Structure 1
């Protein structure tokens, strides 16, 4: 991430509104992601990946999300596909993950159907919210297996030529993530392009044995913290720009905005510190012992949700103090607020009684 210096951050943010209008990242920004191997954080080094630890990756997710919400979300989701490098057979994993631009898009929802045939399966289905669909080099999705008499679910890898992309992503925020629906119609998928995520992983690195739920919770929480921090920093800059005028015309409004921003930044930092403290200490324990007590897994989930909630509630507390400027769809205040509420809407970041 060293090449994402302040000049690049400024360039990305200057392009954020246009990328949002187009619904995808600029090509030059994708090239930087490929150069930094940010889609390959969890791909092993022998497949041209970075083989990062979870705490390293969480910091990357936060920084990319702080730069731009859509950028951060695509790095978070795209790199998460590296989990499947340990689930696919060795030869297929090498084919799919070794390339410089290798990145998958897909869905974990079992909204497809697969029928066993000689040498593999025939698959039909559609899946929503496949982030990065327009530049993915392959796709993965879950299907229910027909004709077994059981509720069996298996994961399938598809090549781009087998997939139809419906450009239907029209959300509140994260609009530049190309999170479109995909459809597969009676596609033949050979056995070695399928896998079972509940089976023993082929590789021994701890990341492939980590709880997938906890992985999603921590990853999305880190992204939430990044976008939340960006929003509050934009608010602080907005207050500073208005200070000369408001000190004369609206001193109480200025004081209220400055106080709210400072307070909510403090709350977010405290929640972030608690989140990272546990994420890092529990990761060290997991690497050393190969397991964690159930209460630790639950606490990881709670602190992830608390960090996301601190980001979300902080933005909601400050937003009414920003006036009409924050309602401008192409303004950074509005865009970061919308991105944050889209990230934190994910079900794994919501307490059970709010789902």
Structure 2
């Protein structure tokens, strides 16, 4: 779905009867609104809750779905094909896997009202935290808190200590205790609302902090899946959706009417068909690799075994590869589309802007190829890679 349909909006949302397809149509209708106001609004977040996005990584023991990663990733891929910003924001429905490292009592408190919990975090730069009676006193400002305006709980990155072996921690805060500094002004993924978080002297109990990727206290398969790799996957799959949308658009336009100059329509030109077919093959190949290793890794943890380092490295490698393959597909579709693609109203403009962003993320950069290659050849990668 690449063009906004005409939709007769009903009271389905209020009645809790929305289907996944309903929500995709609503996203298509409102994506320009998201980009213009620079965030996905709370009523849209509530619709995502209804279709299970924000219980997908909640433990079964707290009423959640704890979905296998490939099931969640496919949902984000489809949302991203309609709107990349909505896909990026919903991708953080996976972030509850981090919260599984909290004490069980803290998790029970978080989920006591509902398993549908929206978590957003601004984790960097990591800030010092002062030990005081009652916990840790938090002060500082953190970047890139995607989806923060619709979050139920927020996280900020703080320095660890002896108890964390020096690893940084995340401290959880309620939105009322955090100021959102609205400074998200970007070319692509403008609707993600990735503003900064500012906290001034709030005391957080230590039981409400956790090590990102730390040992989970919940014993369910999803929380044995490599959490850092999963964090990369949910971002990379956004570009898989954007690439799919761009190629679908190019196919639709290419099969259209003859141009005003009388030249053959695009579908009748060999170069158009050849390059489009190559892009299709490249994107589908990257997608197959991506889901193949995802399912292999999850089957490993379901069987009760740890994911081997080389398989974890393939999860990281396939994520970077699919993010770049998606961007390449968009670039090919844009080039093939000719002069029409340079106009603001052309869908290719949106696809180009969005596809530029995911490969810029630190989790998806070219350095991942180096580290993945190192692991495959039994050479230590950089710290924190797997």
How big is each residue's C-alpha offset from its partner over 1:213-236, in whole Å with a ceiling of 9 and x where there is no partner? 211222222222112101211222
- How far apart, CA to CA, are the structure 1 residues paired with 2:318 and 2:161? 39
SS of the residue 1:49 aligns to: coil
SS of the residue 1:248 aligns to: coil
Change over 3 Å in CA distance of 1:220–1:198 after alignment to 2: closer
Question: Structure 1: any 5+ residue segments left out of the alignment?
Answer: none
Aligned pair partner of 2:327 in 307, 312, 321: 312
* Equivalent pair of 1:104/1:136 in contact (CA under 8 Å): yes
- How far apart, CA to CA, are the structure 2 residues paired with 1:191 and 1:139? 15
How big is each residue's C-alpha offset from its partner over 1:164-216, in whole Å with a ceiling of 9 and x where there is no partner? 10111112211111111111111111122112335421101122222222112
SS of the residue 2:255 aligns to: helix
Q: What is aligned with 2:263?
A: 249
- How far apart, CA to CA, are the structure 2 residues paired with 1:234 and 1:63? 15
Q: What is aligned with 1:281?
A: 296
Q: What is aligned with 1:93?
A: 107
Change over 3 Å in CA distance of 1:328–1:21 after alignment to 2: farther
How big is each residue's C-alpha offset from its partner over 1:151-176, in whole Å with a ceiling of 9 and x where there is no partner? 55222001112111011111221111
Aligned pair partner of 1:332 in 347, 362, 369: 347
- How far apart, CA to CA, are the structure 1 residues paired with 2:235 and 2:212? 20
- Note the C-alpha offset of 1:146: 8.0
Q: What is aligned with 2:373?
A: none
Is residue 2:23 matched to residue 1:3? no
Is residue 2:359 matched to residue 1:344? yes
Number of residue pairs matched?
A: 351
After superposition, residues 15-30 of structure 1 pair within 5 angstroms as 15-30=30-45
SS of the residue 2:185 aligns to: coil
SS of the residue 2:121 aligns to: strand
Q: What is aligned with 1:81?
A: 95
After superposition, residues 208-219 of structure 1 pair within 5 angstroms as 208-219=223-234
* Equivalent pair of 2:279/2:329 in contact (CA under 8 Å): yes
Change over 3 Å in CA distance of 1:98–1:228 after alignment to 2: farther
For normalisation by structure 1, the TM-score amounts to: 0.89
- Note the C-alpha offset of 1:143: 0.8
- Note the C-alpha offset of 1:24: 2.2
Task: Return 97-106 or 31-40, whichever deviates more.
Answer: 97-106
- How far apart, CA to CA, are the structure 1 residues paired with 2:226 and 2:111? 22
- How far apart, CA to CA, are the structure 2 residues paired with 1:279 and 1:76? 16
How big is each residue's C-alpha offset from its partner over 1:119-168, in whole Å with a ceiling of 9 and x where there is no partner? 201111111110111111111121125899x8552220011121110111
- How far apart, CA to CA, are the structure 2 residues paired with 1:267 and 1:145? 43
- How far apart, CA to CA, are the structure 2 residues paired with 1:47 and 1:247? 63
* Equivalent pair of 1:111/1:143 in contact (CA under 8 Å): yes
* Equivalent pair of 1:247/1:254 in contact (CA under 8 Å): no
SS of the residue 1:244 aligns to: coil
* Equivalent pair of 2:119/2:155 in contact (CA under 8 Å): yes
After superposition, residues 48-59 of structure 1 pair within 5 angstroms as 48-59=63-74
- How far apart, CA to CA, are the structure 2 residues paired with 1:88 and 1:305? 29
Is residue 2:50 matched to residue 1:35? yes
- How far apart, CA to CA, are the structure 2 residues paired with 1:354 and 1:306? 9
- Note the C-alpha offset of 1:115: 0.8
Task: Return 21-30 or 47-56, whichever deviates more.
Answer: 21-30
* Equivalent pair of 2:24/2:79 in contact (CA under 8 Å): no
SS of the residue 2:262 aligns to: helix
Task: Return 330-339 or 94-103, whichever deviates more.
Answer: 94-103
* Equivalent pair of 1:74/1:132 in contact (CA under 8 Å): yes
Is residue 2:155 matched to residue 1:140? yes
For normalisation by structure 2, the TM-score amounts to: 0.82
